[in-house]
Structure 1
Amino acid sequence: MSVLTEFAVPSEEFILHETLERISDIHVEIERVVADSEYVTPYFWASGESVERFERALGEDVTVETITLLENHDNERFYRVSWRQRTGTVGHAVSELKASILEATSDGNDWYLKLLFPSESSLTEFHDYCSSYDLSFQLIRMYESRHPNAFGKYEVTPKQREALVTALDSGYFSVPRGATLKHVAGELDISPNALSTRLRRGHANLITNTLRHEG
């Protein structure tokens, strides 16, 4: 039986520690993470007035292997960044135990992670791993489910969900259309380009994890 958990983790025990230590007034939200035995590669949004300084600090972070800027919308940017896997970190534990990171956000100090473990035993192994390396974390919530796909919300991120629901409620998807892209973007306080990106990615995730799997 899969287990969904929510953790608070100090920034120094996950990723971006050196960057966030220098630039704390920034909001970071990870959309997805690709990991193997050598590298962990998160795709994430960084937003805030200090995003320019954040990008400079990211470029000077000695723990970072590669940085790719994928989207740039005013004070909100989307990156792909690679780190070499290091034992004794929460990220390495997640990768080793085949857990899935469903949500990950940081406002400069702690990371708030929503992790899906494939079984209760893998959660126990995660706890043992963290204890053996003296890693700090706070378990906030834990759930069990026989339907793990429900936890993933079809891999739609919180920001994508917010954009899709706001657009729906505003009449953006109605025929005839009841709201413009600019109007919906104004309600979310983001640029029309950023909203368009979120809607496209949200639609792609919904279609991939619903219609493509039917039949």
Structure 2
Amino acid sequence: MSVLTEFVVPAEEFILHETLRRVSAIHVEIERVVADSEYVTPYFWASGETFESFERALEDDITVESLTVLEEHDDERFYRVSWRQRTGTVGHAVSKLKASILEATSDGKNWFLKLLFPSESSLTEFHDYCENYDLSFQLTRLYESRHPNAFGKYEVTPKQREALVTALDSGYFNVPREVTLGHVAGELDISPNALSTRLRRGHANLITNTLRHDG
């Protein structure tokens, strides 16, 4: 049975450490991570007023292979960045054990991670890996998932799910609509542009994985 966990990890033991050390006035929220044996590619939102400095710091990082700005709004941008994997990091442990990063938020000093492990044994291996490389982490929550497939079945990220459910509960999808996009965005404390993006991406993932049947 899969195991859902929440960890606090020092910034230097995950990704973006050098960049966030140089540019601390940026808030980062990772939406999803694609990882293999060689690269780790996070898709993430960054908010703040120092995007140019943030992007220069990323480009100066010798481990960064590519940087792409996917969406750009007044106060936040959506990025895809590829890093070369390094043995002895939390990111490498996650990809090696085929765990899933469901949420990741940084305050510049620490990363707050929500990880889904495929089994209890993989969580044990993660613990052993971290001990072997003297990696620091604090387990703050641990529970078995009653519905393990629900987290990745439709490829809807936690932020997309939050946006979809909040919009639904608020009456945004009713006909006629009971609230505006701006009202729902205010409940989530994000911009209307960011909410619109999350709703569109969430809808696309749901339709692709429920209504479309190739072959």
The TM-score, its normalising length taken from structure 1, stands at 0.89
* 1:106-135 alpha-carbon deviations (Å, 9 max, x no partner): 121100111111111111111111111100
Counterpart Cα distance in 2 of 1:62 and 1:116: 30
| 1:201 shift after superposition | 1.1
Match of 1:109 in 2: 109
Letter in 1 for 2:89: T
Letter in 2 for 1:69: V
Letter in 2 for 1:95: S
Equivalent residues of 2:10, 2:111 under 8 A apart: yes
* 1:40-64 alpha-carbon deviations (Å, 9 max, x no partner): 1111111123333322222222221
Task: Map 1:140-179 to 2 at 5 A.
Answer: 140-152=140-152, 154-179=154-179
CA RMSD of aligned residues (A): 2.1
Q: Name the SS of the counterpart of 2:160 in structure 1.
A: helix
Match of 2:37 in 1: 37
Gaps of 5+ in 2: none
1:7 partnered with 2:37: no
Q: Name the SS of the counterpart of 2:165 in structure 1.
A: helix
Counterpart Cα distance in 1 of 2:60 and 2:210: 41
Task: Report how many residues are paired.
Answer: 213
- Of stretches 101-110 and 54-63 in structure 1, the one that deviates more from structure 2 is 54-63
Match of 2:60 in 1: 60
Counterpart Cα distance in 2 of 1:71 and 1:56: 17
With over 3 angstroms needed to count, the CA separation of the structure-2 counterparts of 1:12 and 1:119, relative to structure 1, is: same
Match of 2:126 in 1: 126
Identity within the alignment, %: 87
| 1:156 shift after superposition | 3.2
| 1:146 shift after superposition | 5.0
* 1:11-38 alpha-carbon deviations (Å, 9 max, x no partner): 1111001001111222111111111111
Q: Name the SS of the counterpart of 1:122 in structure 2.
A: helix
Equivalent residues of 2:31, 2:159 under 8 A apart: no
Letter in 1 for 2:122: S
| 1:152 shift after superposition | 4.7
Counterpart Cα distance in 2 of 1:153 and 1:185: 26
Counterpart Cα distance in 1 of 2:120 and 2:159: 29
- Of stretches 107-116 and 146-155 in structure 1, the one that deviates more from structure 2 is 146-155
Match of 1:195 in 2: 195
Match of 2:70 in 1: 70
Match of 1:80 in 2: 80
Equivalent residues of 1:4, 1:151 under 8 A apart: no
Letter in 1 for 2:81: V
Letter in 2 for 1:104: A
Q: Name the SS of the counterpart of 1:156 in structure 2.
A: coil
* 1:130-163 alpha-carbon deviations (Å, 9 max, x no partner): 1111000001111113531244585433432333
Counterpart Cα distance in 2 of 1:158 and 1:26: 21
Letter in 2 for 1:149: N
